[in-house]
Structures are given as C-alpha cells and as structure tokens.
Amino acid sequence: METMASEHLLDIRQLAKSFGKHQVLKAVDLHVSKGEVVTVIGPSGSGKTTLLRCVNFLETYDGGSIRIDGTEVGYRNDGPQRRRRGEVDLARMRAETGMVFQSFNLFPHLTAAENVMLGLRRVRKKPKREAREIALHWLGRVGLGHKADSLPGELSGGQQQRVGIARAVAMEPKILLLDEITSALDPELVGEVLDVVRQLAGDGMTMLMVTHEIAFARDASHRIVFMADGMVSAVVPPDQLQAAAAENDRLRSFLSRFSATAH
C-alpha cells in the first residue's frame, strides 16, 4: 500500500466534492496532528459533515487528497489514474477513522455490548470473549458498564450516544470523527456526552469534531476551523477566536448567533 511521509496524522489537501452541479467542498486544506483535537464550526451547508464523511470515505471525493498516516484514503494511485480501493481495504481503513454520528446508528436488536462488539468481531476478527471484554471496558469508561446488556430502546439519547462513542473508540482508531454528536439530544443530556469527549481528549485521542457547541469547542480544542461556502475561512487557536472574528465578517456574523458564548 503506497504511503507518503507526512508530519500530520491527517493531511487534507485541495479537497473538492460536488453533488451534481453544487460544489460542497472547494479546495479544502486541513491537517490534524497526533493527539490534537481540531473542531470545525460554521453555518449549515458549509460542508462540515461532508468533510468528515470524505475522511471516513462514506462519501467519495472528486479531487484533492486525504491521507492518514501517509496513506491515501479511499483510492490508490495506479500510475496517472486514481482507482477506488476494494471493499475489504475500505472497511479496514474506515476502522482507523472511528466515526460517531448525529443519529446514534445503533442496531436496535443488539444490546449495548453487542453493538460495540460488532466491529471488533467482523473487522478486527476478535474472538467473542475478547470482544466482549473490550466492549465492557469501553462501556465502563463512558459510564455505562451497568447498561451493557440493555437494548438501545431501553437507553436515553445521551446513553445511546455514549454507546456510539464506545463503539468507535473500541476499534482503536487513529483518529475519531465526531459529527454534531449532541444535535439530536435534549439539552439536559448534552453535558454527559461532552464530558466523555473531554475525557478522551485528556487521554490524548486524536479528534476531528464538527459541533455547534461553541463554548465546548473553545474549551476542548487545540484549534478551531471555521468553514463557510465549502471553504476553510479561518483556522485559529480557541483563545484567538474572537480576535479572528474582528477581521472576518463571516466568522463575526456566525458567532453573533451565539452571543451568550461568543463574548
């Protein structure tokens, strides 16, 4: 498998993606180093979720490059041509980019532990006993050890999302992708999920996170990326977000919607 040396764990260069005639991503450049938490903010339709889905290759991309540990995601370069990787190869690569979705995406007929075990068994080929031990460990880490044998329908939204996080990190991904993981939750459940993310960040987990929780982004991130119109409009340390807004009209307009947390 071809690799290219890079100082960054995730290296995105000139990424382009269109749906029909609508270009969603326009020459996006972004990198994430090992152990770094990078948060992407921006208005609806700016391309944030599409960016994550391209990194996980749930969406193909039209141009540019995405590399994780120097290996191109989704494609292999065959001379001057770019060819899509086979499904077995793609499944293995997706396991290195654990993704947590807005809607929990748990299998309703499987218990919390069985949901976490599924990828360990099918992709990592772990024996059942070992897979369950790993599942119980991570469910314990997200505060749900006592709910291991509960079905998703017996769990609150916040608990289901924590199972989703446990499922992703149990695969030991190189980078964790978090797509608006609190947007489907009742407000009183948001904190318990964000606390888990803070713990993972403290453990040194590499994360690329899309969120509308501006205060949390400032608290938990090493860098904040502001996207607008399919492009990266600003990349700043959290403590410089307000200063950047003074020089960026789109960022200032966006943050004004969150006046309670933007000042």
For 191-203, the pLDDT digits (tens) are: 999 999 999 999 9
Is 122 within a domain? yes
How many domains are there within the chain?
1
Is 148 within a domain? yes
pLDDT at 4: 53
Is 3 within a domain? no
Is 187 within a domain? yes
Residue 159 belongs to what domain range?
A: 8-260
Mean per-residue pLDDT, 12-24: 95
Is 121 within a domain? yes
Mean per-residue pLDDT, 110-118: 97
Ramachandran area for residue 230 (φ above 0: left; ψ -120 to 50: alpha; else beta): left
Question: How far is residue 20's CA from residue 11's CA, in Å, rounded to a whole number?
Answer: 26
Is 204 within a domain? yes
Average pLDDT of the chain, as a whole number: 91
8 Å CB contact between 159 and 144 = yes
pLDDT surpasses 50 at 1: no
Share of the chain residues as helix, strand and coil, in percent rounded to the nearest 5:
40, 25, 35
Cβ neighbours, 10 Å, residue 8: 16
Strands (E), the chain: 10-19, 22-32, 37-41, 63-68, 71-72, 75-78, 81-84, 97-100, 175-179, 207-210, 223-228, 231-236
The answer to pTM > 0.85 is yes
pLDDT at 104: 84
Mark 85-99 as b/e (b = at least 16 C-beta within 10 Å). Answer: beeeebeebbbbbbb
246: domain CATH number is: 3.40.50.300
Is 35 within a domain? yes
Is 2 within a domain? no
